[in-house]
């Protein structure tokens, strides 16, 4: 008794230290609420008996998937008795356990493994904690540990588009396994879209005999070459679909692992493939004319309800996703049937026509006991109560929906579109665009800052989307999804005040090994030097922060224009410079350079802070508005960074120095990425004036760089003068012959 007491006292005294010191060493992702690591470990290479109460039968089977765990005798326990104090025990939590209704308690000690929760659903993530602990110890042992854990959000989702590029069935099981390991509980399966219908529907065989097959294997080739569908089995027919049996098999596979599959059947837009084979459902009645169902035609509704009838027999999910995004409403404007319905039902515009259609589906799904989810466009024209909104065009739709009392799943493009680049696009396989590094995903908080307190409860979680236009293989899906999905898993599971990027990065190092064991083609953290430049305009001082995605970067740099070598200055602290300079930096491993040389041009130039007069306005991408082009801060790798300003016409701006100044050079940076329609200017012309009325040209640069190469490029367009001139006004014009976007930043004048 005395020794026990002493032990307890020592434990209590050491407890805070112990917790702090030891917690760091457990690498579970997402980070659990509370971990207490204890001395000792359980050897896995021995049989261990299993006892469980009835409600956990489904989980007992899943234990077999834990590496190294060998289950001996199995007993279904009716009443927990003394003999149940050892072995593996899956037991219902009792009041004194203080387990959250959605959480679990895990204890591993010399008696075995005890897992407690109020339901199987709540216990499942506990199984995956054990699985991770085993992986982390190479399937040999489990640490003695106590974990109290619960999720922050009830909806933790990952999505996959299998229309743009079809993905093999067996890969979907692997995907589910990975999602479950990281405690996701929803898989949003984007089954239909213009690039191919992917689910067998018995009543409409053409959907899979033709609408699932196309002329080109790669989405991009198909998109650029006529976008035709062909009969299954015809020469070069490319694509595929899942049978209803397969879909049911996947549903059961996922359900066992705690994941609900939400099917998405797109409507009223993104439906070119349906209308190619059932053209009577489009406004024109002809195939290959539009991607939107005719909403004035009763047959469209009947078709969709018939499809949903079959979908509902396959997917028990409470949520059913009906798409609703990006419909081109112009067809409805010129369609007599649509207009007639609008008149009859007093629908004021096409937004309300779409809302009418969504309402039909919502009511139909509700009548079957299901709940509709749609992309945030379903808010247009009014939305019926009860529908859940996925906010993808930023967070605004989500905030609006939450304020109106709808449940919301956050999936904003800027943080959770995993089809975008995760590092410097110039080093990556072609992607759709964007720039979403791991740290940015990790930084996301699904509860927006500017949401009313009492509406926060409507944000039920978040999800990342993987659209596959530029993702032709499952290996590439893995590359885009991992490790970013791990960052998201912590975003949706771990309380905001428990998140730590540094700590996550440290734990992640061990998960790279797990992903290798599971043969995941994950994105390897890059050695490329990442720079962040902060400009202090008051003191005209630049602060440069260098990093890489390596856990412990080893960066060397120079400021004298020479290339960095292993004996160059090591980067330890932010570099402060109050004059123009060029920093060259690179990563090193021992004495070898292991990254390209990153060149950072710091221009403390004459135009900083000067007024810019816009003869043509920016459009779509204002960045920092009038302060953008002369704020001393340059645009970075992505036009979404709030520094690149976008122009859809010719660019025509004037810098006003307010008095005559000596001008030696005038430059403006542009970016080009043809995929999303961003091009270099055709001609770059600089003129000067003293009175702001009559200008004299200083020079012209004609672009020589190809606009067909899809790669991301940056180019400084510059006029350098042999002999300086004096002038007050500097006019810069850049033509936009491609009629795409010009992205400009920053005007540098010396």
CA dist 305 and 102 (Å) reads 35
Q: How far apart are CA 113 and CA 371, in angstroms?
A: 38
Q: Per CB under 6 A, does 219 bind ligand ACM?
A: no
Strand partners, 313: none
Find, among 650, 649, 645, 689, the residue nearest to 671 by Cα: 645
With b for 16 or more beta-carbon neighbours within 10 A and e for fewer, the 716-745 pattern comes to ebebeeeeeeebbbbbbbbbbebebbbbbb
Q: What Cα–Cα distance (Å) separates residue 438 from each residue in 422, 482, 524, 694? A: 7, 9, 11, 51
Is 206 in the active site? no
Sign, Cα dihedral of 94, 95, 100, 102: positive
Which of 392, 474, 557, 680 touches ligand ACM by CB under 6 A?
Answer: 392
- Closest CB to ligand ACM belongs to which residue? 325
Residues 494-553 close enough to bind ligand ACM by CB under 6 A:
none
Q: How far is the CB of 468 from ligand ACM (least distance, A)?
A: 12
Q: Would you say 41 or 326 has its CB closer to ligand ACM?
A: 326
Q: What share of the chain is helix, strand, coil (3-state, %, to 5)?
A: 30, 30, 40
- Enter the DSSP assignment of 563: P
> What track of x and - describes contact with ligand ACM for positions 282 through 321 (by CB under 6 A)?
----------------------------------------
Among the options 270, 458, 511, 605, which is catalytic?
270
Is 189 among the residues that bind ligand ACM (CB under 6 A)? no
> Cβ 328 to ligand ACM, closest distance in Å?
13
Complex with ligand ACM: residue 223 or 512, whichever CB lies closer: 223
CB atoms within 10 A of CB 578: 13
| Closest CB 194 distance from ligand ACM, rounded Å | 11
Which is nearer to ligand ACM, 103 or 381 (by Cβ)? 381
DSSP letters spanning 608-658: TT-EEEESS---S--TTGGGSTTSS----S-TTSSSPEEESS-EEEEEEEE
Least distance in angstroms from the C-beta of 392 to ligand ACM: 4
Nearer CB in complex with ligand ACM: 625/677: 677
Secondary structure class of 412 (helix, strand, coil): coil
In the complex, minimum distance from the CB of residue 644 to ligand ACM, in angstroms, rounded to a whole number: 22
Residue labelled with tokens 């805070």: 16
Concatenated DSSP letters of 479-542: HHHTTHHHHHHHHHHS-GGG--HHHHHHHHHHHHHHHHHTT--PPPPP---EEEEEEETTTTEE
> E strands within 135-294?
141-149, 155-161, 186-190, 192-193, 196-197, 213-214, 238-239, 260-267
Residue 181's CB is within 10 A of a number of other CB atoms, namely 25
- The token pair at 258 is 């705690």
Distance (Å, rounded) from C-alpha 402 to C-alpha 381?
A: 16
Angle of the 336-344 helix axis to the 350-367 helix axis, nearest 10: 70
Instruction: Tell me if 441 sits within 8 A of 462, measured CB to CB.
Output: no
What minimum distance in Å lies between the beta carbon of 326 and ligand ACM?
Answer: 5
Cβ 111 to ligand ACM shortest distance, Å: 50
Could you tell me the smallest distance in angstroms from the CB atom of residue 190 to ligand ACM? 9
Nearest to 287 by CA among 226, 219, 373: 226
Instruction: With beta carbons less than 8 A apart as the criterion, state whether 191 and 199 touch.
Output: yes
Q: How far is the CB of 359 from ligand ACM (least distance, A)?
A: 20
264 within 8 A of 270, measured Cβ to Cβ: no
**What is the C-alpha to C-alpha distance for residues 357 and 345, in angstroms, rounded to an integer?**
12
- Shortest Cβ 743–ligand ACM spacing (Å): 22
Active site residue 270: yes
Q: Which residue has the tokens 């003394």?
A: 82
Which one from 97, 326, 626, 656 is the annotated catalytic residue? Answer: 326
Task: Decide if residue 222 touches ligand ACM (CB under 6 A).
Answer: no
H-run or E-run covering 276: helix 272-277
Euclidean distance between CA atoms 744 and 717, whole angstroms: 10
Measured from the CB atom, the residue of 409 and 491 that comes closer to ligand ACM is 409
Nearer to ligand ACM, 23 or 326 (CB): 326
CA nearest neighbour of 117 among 107, 102, 96, 133: 102
Bridge-partner residues for 195, per DSSP? none
Min CB(477)–ligand ACM separation in Å = 16
CB closer to ligand ACM, 326 vs 641: 326
Q: Does 328 bind ligand ACM (CB under 6 A)?
A: no
Judged by CB, which is closer to ligand ACM: 391, or 645? 391
How would you write 385-409 as a 3-class SS string? CCCEEEECCCCHHHHHHHHCCCCEE
The helix or strand, by DSSP H or E, that contains position 127, with its residue range, turns out to be: helix 120-136
Is residue 193 part of the annotated active site? The answer reads: yes
Task: Tell me which of 326, 328, 503, 641 binds ligand ACM, using CB under 6 A.
Answer: 326
396 in contact with ligand ACM (CB under 6 A): no
Nearer to ligand ACM, 255 or 326 (CB): 326
Q: How far is the CB of 535 from ligand ACM (least distance, A)?
A: 34
Q: Which is nearer to ligand ACM, 326 or 439 (CB)?
A: 326
Nearer to ligand ACM, 480 or 607 (CB): 480
Least Cβ distance, residue 374 to ligand ACM (angstroms): 10
Q: Between residue 556 and residue 585, which ones bind ligand ACM under the rule CB under 6 A? A: none
**326 or 683, CB closer to ligand ACM?**
326
Closer to ligand ACM by Cβ: residue 326 or 352: 326
**Does 325 sit near ligand ACM (CB under 6 A)?**
yes
Q: Compose the 357-376 pattern: x for residues touching ligand ACM by CB under 6 A, - for all others.
A: ------------------x-
Q: Identify the CA nearest to 228 among candidates 199, 194, 204.
A: 194
Pairing of strands 238-239, 260-267: unpaired
Q: Given CA atoms 389, 395, 401, 403 in this order, what sign does their dihedral have?
A: positive
CA dihedral in degrees (288, 289, 290, 293; nearest 10)? -90
How many residues line the site for ligand ACM (CB under 6 A)? 4
Q: Which residues are catalytic?
A: 193, 270, 326
* Contacting residues toward ligand ACM, per CB under 6 A: 325-326, 375, 392
């Amino acid at each position: 008794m005395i020794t026990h007491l002493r032990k307890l006292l020592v434990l209590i005294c050491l407890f805070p230290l112990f917790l702090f010191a030891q917690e760091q060493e457990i690498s579970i992702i997402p980070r659990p609420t509370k971990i207490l690591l204890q001395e000792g470990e359980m050897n896995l290479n021995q049989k261990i008996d299993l006892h469980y109460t009835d409600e956990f039968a489904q989980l007992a089977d899943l234990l077999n998937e834990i590496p190294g765990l060998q289950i001996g005798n199995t007993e279904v326990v009716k009443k927990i008795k003394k003999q149940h104090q050892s072995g593996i025990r899956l037991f219902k939590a009792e009041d004194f356990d203080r387990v959250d209704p959605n959480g679990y308690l895990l204890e591993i000690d010399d008696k075995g493994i005890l897992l407690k929760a109020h339901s199987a659903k709540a216990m499942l993530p506990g199984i995956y904690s054990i699985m991770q602990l085993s992986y982390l110890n190479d399937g040999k042992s489990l640490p003695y540990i106590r974990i109290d854990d619960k999720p922050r959000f009830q909806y933790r989702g990952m999505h996959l588009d299998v229309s743009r590029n079809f993905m093999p069935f067996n890969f979907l099981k692997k995907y589910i396994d990975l999602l479950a390991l990281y405690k996701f509980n929803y898989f949003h399966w984007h089954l239909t879209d213009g690039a191919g219908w992917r689910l067998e529907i018995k009543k409409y065989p053409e959907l899979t005999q033709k609408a699932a097959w196309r002329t080109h294997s790669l989405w991009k080739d198909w998109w650029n070459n006529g976008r035709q569908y062909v009969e299954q089995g015809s020469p070069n027919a490319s694509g595929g679909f899942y049978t209803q049996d397969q879909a049911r098999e996947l549903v059961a596979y996922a359900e066992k692992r705690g994941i609900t599959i939400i099917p998405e059947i797109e409507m009223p837009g993104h439906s070119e493939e349906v209308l190619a084979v059932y053209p009577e459902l489009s406004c024109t009645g002809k195939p290959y004319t539009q991607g939107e169902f005719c909403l004035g035609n009763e047959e469209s509704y009947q078709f969709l309800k018939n499809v949903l009838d079959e979908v509902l027999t396959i997917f028990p999910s409470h949520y059913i996703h009906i798409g609703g995004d990006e419909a081109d409403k112009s067809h409805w404007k010129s369609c007599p049937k649509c207009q007639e319905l609008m008149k009859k039902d007093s629908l004021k515009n096409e937004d309300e026509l779409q809302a009418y259609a969504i309402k039909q589906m919502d009511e139909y799904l509700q009548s079957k006991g299901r709940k509709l989810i749609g992309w945030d466009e379903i808010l247009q024209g009014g939305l019926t109560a009860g529908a859940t909104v996925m906010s993808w065009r930023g967070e605004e739709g989500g905030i609006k929906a939450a304020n109106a009392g709808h449940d919301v799943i956050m999936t904003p493009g800027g943080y959770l579109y995993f089809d975008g680049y995760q590092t410097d696009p110039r080093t990556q396989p072609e992607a759709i665009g964007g720039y979403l590094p791991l740290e940015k995903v990790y930084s996301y908080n699904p509860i927006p800052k500017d949401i009313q307190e009492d509406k926060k409860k409507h944000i039920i979680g978040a999800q990342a989307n993987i659209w596959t236009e530029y993702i032709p293989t499952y290996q590439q899906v893995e590359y885009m999804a991992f490790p970013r999905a791990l960052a998201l898993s912590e975003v949706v599971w771990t309380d905001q005040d428990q998140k730590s990027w540094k700590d996550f990065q440290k734990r992640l190092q061990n998960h790279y090994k797990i992903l290798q064991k599971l043969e995941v083609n994950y994105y390897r953290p890059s050695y490329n030097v990442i720079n962040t430049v902060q400009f202090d305009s008051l003191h005209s001082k630049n602060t440069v922060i260098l990093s890489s995605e390596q856990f412990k970067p080893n960066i060397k740099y120079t400021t004298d224009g020479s290339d960095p070598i292993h004996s160059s200055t090591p980067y330890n602290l932010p570099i402060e410079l109050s004059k123009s300079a060029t920093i060259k930096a690179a990563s090193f491993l021992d004495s070898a350079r292991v990254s390209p040389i990153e060149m950072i041009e710091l221009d403390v130039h004459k135009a900083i802070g000067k007024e810019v007069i816009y003869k043509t306005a920016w459009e779509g991408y204002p960045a920092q508005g009038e302060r953008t082009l002369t704020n001393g801060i340059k645009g970075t790798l992505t036009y979404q960074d709030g520094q690149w300003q976008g122009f859809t016409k010719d660019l025509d701006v004037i810098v006003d120095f307010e008095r005559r100044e000596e001008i030696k050079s005038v430059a403006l940076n542009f970016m080009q990425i043809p995929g999303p329609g961003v091009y270099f200017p055709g001609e770059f012309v600089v003129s000067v004036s003293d009175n702001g009325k009559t200008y004299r040209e200083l020079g012209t640069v004609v672009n020589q760089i190809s606009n067909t190469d899809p790669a991301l490029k940056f180019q400084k367009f510059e006029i350098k003068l042999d002999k300086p001139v004096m002038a007050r006004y500097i006019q810069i014009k850049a033509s936009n012959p491609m009629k795409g976007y010009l992205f400009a930043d920053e005007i540098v004048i010396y």
